[in-house]
Amino acid sequence: MTHSDPIKHRRIVSGICILILVPLGFLVKEYHGIGEHIVSDKLAGTLYVIFWSILFYFFFYRTTVKILVLSVFIATCSLEFLQLVSTPFLNAIRSGYIGRALIGNSFSWTDFIFYILGSIISYYIICKINKLPEK
């Protein structure tokens, strides 16, 4: 009877989550329709935190979930405050689609609510992944 490595199984599941979140994040960011501002800006922020939390879990799976999610939350909030800064270097990064998607281009206090939501969802997802049985 062969038992597989539970860490490998958890990394596969987190990898699948990442593969789902990447196109979903881009689709949400490009959404045009009813509730466009909430979907493309706010929901995208929630998915952003979930994506980075699961990505960091993929590589740093031995880190406690609280520390991991809190670190992503703090980094995301720092990037939000960085949007208040305008330098030629940052403006050059923000001039492209990927740069705007990664570091943003406009500050909004309400984004923090969605970062908190993304952190809570991330914590829940990663805890569920950690509790997966061996396959």
Q: Which domain holds residue 10?
A: 6-130
Number of domains making up the chain: 1
135: in domain: no
98: in domain: yes
Write down the pTM of the prediction.
0.88
117: in domain: yes
Give per-residue pLDDT as tens, 84-130: 998 999 889 989 888 888 888 889 999 999 999 999 999 999 999 99
Q: What is the pLDDT of residue 1?
A: 38
Contact 123, 49 (CB under 8 A): no
Q: What is the pLDDT of residue 7?
A: 81
19: in domain: yes
Query: In this model, does residue 135 exceed pLDDT 90?
Result: no
Give per-residue pLDDT as tens, 41-65: 899 999 999 999 999 999 998 899 9
DSSP class of 134: P
In 63-127, at which residue ranges do the beta strands (DSSP E only) sit? Answer: none
38: in domain: yes
86: in domain: yes
Give per-residue pLDDT as tens, 13-43: 999 999 999 999 989 988 899 988 888 889 9
